[in-house]
Amino acid sequence: MIATAMYNFDKNLDRAARILGANRWQRIYHVLLPLIKPGIFSGMTFAFILSFNDVPLALFLVRPGETTLPITVINYYEYGLDPVLAAVNVASLLFLLAVIFLFERIGGSRHKSMEEANEPADVADIELVDVTKRYGDHLVVDQISLNVPKGEFVSILGPSGCGKTTTLNMVAGFHSPSSGRIRIRGRDQAGVPPEKRNIGLVFQNYALFPHMTVAENVAFGLKMKGTSKSETEIGVRRALKSVHLEGYEARYPKELSGGQQQRTALARAIAPQPSVLLLDEPLSNLDLKLRESMRVELKEIQQQLGMTFVYVTHDQEEAMAMSDRVVVMSGGVVAQAGPPVDIYQNPASSFVADFIGKSNLAGRTRRVRGRR
Ligand SMILES: Nc1ncnc2c1ncn2[C@@H]1O[C@H](COP(=O)(O)OP(=O)(O)OP(=O)(O)O)[C@@H](O)[C@H]1O
Ligand SMILES: [Mg+2]
């Protein structure tokens, strides 16, 4: 039962907690345990009933003098604990806990010192240098190089399977590149786990914590950063205000519409004020009308906060309407990168021309400006 509960656990929830800064123990305590609690309780009840049955049965069925496991357990309690055995058990448990604690501390301080090091001025927020990703023989991302300056809205646009999510996951730290370098704010990210990268991520399926209210979801990243209670409240209020979700603080994700869930996911990602926000097809689960109005709002939020956005989409119109720069990907390589107008007017290949050909750039751009 516990295994089934674990199996059904949405791995994106763990990733969401991770990118919001939660370490392993915080993820287990705040996310995994509350969600698999029903499985744990039913498993424990089942085990108790089974063993309760086992003990009287074993006592009744076996010959005198024969030892079974339940009888051994009963004898163990009846004649008292062996003090040496008990001491060894406790000592080994303490030793194990100490090793885990030290491991976490050493890992934590190593990455902390990286964070606290002086940030070089005038450096790109994100830099990819010849980044390649292979799964066995399958080359998924092939020597991508990309510089994203501070405050830019960059879209990675391409057909399904071209490597967009893989690229984003490497920037987030969920996958490591097979070769090449990723730098965030000038620092090499090799070996830096997602929880230490100080970036935000909005998932396609939102990955909201179902057992937390809207306010608790949005507060999560701030809490993991150790922000005080009053500052967390201010941060939550500010984030909910920017996504127009005031008044929804006490609702649970299942009590929200798709659009409201999307806004909550966005508020949760921006609340800890990361300098970079990654968004993986964040609007694809919304209907067309909502998608179009959210495009305008997202662009406005990005400009208000001055945050760097890396926005993954396979929707040409979306990318062309919102971005300062579009990176068109095809089969794991960058087919063309540049401002939307340049790409539209001077496509570098027939693939790019075909892929963006159907979008009505002028109309979309006008609409975004008109709403500002
Ligand atoms: N863990 C993995 N093992 C093997 N192959 C993988 C793995 N993850 C992704 N791939 C492959 O890498 C390629 C790129 O996948 P990716 O998810 O990056 O595509 P995408 O551009 O995000 O597509 P979509 O628009 O459908 O989300 C696909 O062919 C996919 O099958
Ligand atoms: Mg994808």
Confidence of residue 61 (pLDDT cuts 50, 70, 90): confident
- Secondary structure letter of residue 28 according to DSSP: I
User: Is the Cα torsion angle 146, 147, 151, 152 positive or negative in sign?
Assistant: negative
The yes-or-no verdict on residue 78 having pLDDT over 90 is: no
Beta strands 126-135 and 138-148 are: antiparallel
| Ligand 1, CB within 6 Å, residue ranges | 135, 138, 140, 158, 160-166, 314
> Within 10 Å of residue 308's Cβ, how many Cβ atoms?
24
The yes-or-no verdict on residue 213 having pLDDT over 70 is: yes
Confidence of residue 372 (pLDDT cuts 50, 70, 90): very low
pLDDT of residue 209: 96
The alpha carbon of 14 and the centre of ligand 1 are apart by a number of angstroms equal to: 20
The alpha carbon of 280 and the centre of ligand 2 are apart by a number of angstroms equal to: 7
The yes-or-no verdict on residue 115 having pLDDT over 60 is: no
Residues 261-279 have pLDDT tens digits of 999 999 999 999 998 999 9
176: CB partners within 8 A, 6+ apart? 170, 190
Confidence of residue 120 (pLDDT cuts 50, 70, 90): low
Q: CATH fold of 126-371, please?
A: Rossmann fold (3.40.50)
The lowest-confidence range among 1-5, 182-186, 226-230, 270-274 is 1-5
Nearest CA to ligand 1 atom 22: 165
Bigger pLDDT: 283 or 53?
Answer: 283
**Residue 80, Ramachandran bin (φ over 0: left; ψ between -120 and 50: alpha; else beta):** left
Confidence of residue 2 (pLDDT cuts 50, 70, 90): low
The alpha carbon of 88 and the centre of ligand 1 are apart by a number of angstroms equal to: 49
Confidence of residue 105 (pLDDT cuts 50, 70, 90): low
How much of the chain, in percent, has pLDDT values that exceed 90? 54
pLDDT of residue 288: 86
The yes-or-no verdict on residue 248 having pLDDT over 90 is: yes
Question: What's the pTM?
Answer: 0.80
Confidence of residue 42 (pLDDT cuts 50, 70, 90): confident
**What whole-number distance in Å separates Cα of residue 23 and Cα of residue 87?**
31
Q: Which-ligand-closest: CA of 167?
A: 1
Long-range pairs of 10-15 with CB within 8 A, sequence gap ≥ 24? 10/205, 10/207, 12/203, 12/205, 12/207, 13/207, 13/209, 15/172, 15/174, 15/194, 15/201, 15/203, 15/207
| Residue type at 3 in one-letter notation | A
Which ligand 1 atom sits closest to the C-alpha of 314? 25
Residues 85-102 have pLDDT tens digits of 667 778 888 998 888 777
Which secondary structure element, helix H or strand E, spans residue 42, and what is its range? helix 33-61
| Residue type at 318 in one-letter notation | E
Residues 345-363 have pLDDT tens digits of 999 998 999 888 744 444 4
The alpha carbon of 244 and the centre of ligand 2 are apart by a number of angstroms equal to: 27
How much of the chain, in percent, has pLDDT values that exceed 70? 83
The lowest-confidence range among 76-90, 152-166, 322-336 is 76-90
Bigger pLDDT: 62 or 232?
Answer: 232
Q: Which of 256, 244, 274, 156 is nearest to 209 (CA)?
A: 256
The C-alpha angle with vertex 324 and arms to 318 and 330, in degrees rounded to 5, equals 60
The alpha carbon of 199 and the centre of ligand 1 are apart by a number of angstroms equal to: 22
Q: Which of 219, 216, 224 is nearest to 27 (CA)?
A: 224
Which ligand 1 atom sits closest to the C-alpha of 158? 21
The yes-or-no verdict on residue 206 having pLDDT over 80 is: yes
pLDDT of residue 8: 76
> Within 10 Å of residue 61's Cβ, how many Cβ atoms?
9
| Domain chopping of the chain, boundaries | 2-116, 126-371
pLDDT of residue 368: 42
Helix (H, G, I), strand (E, B) or coil at 5: helix
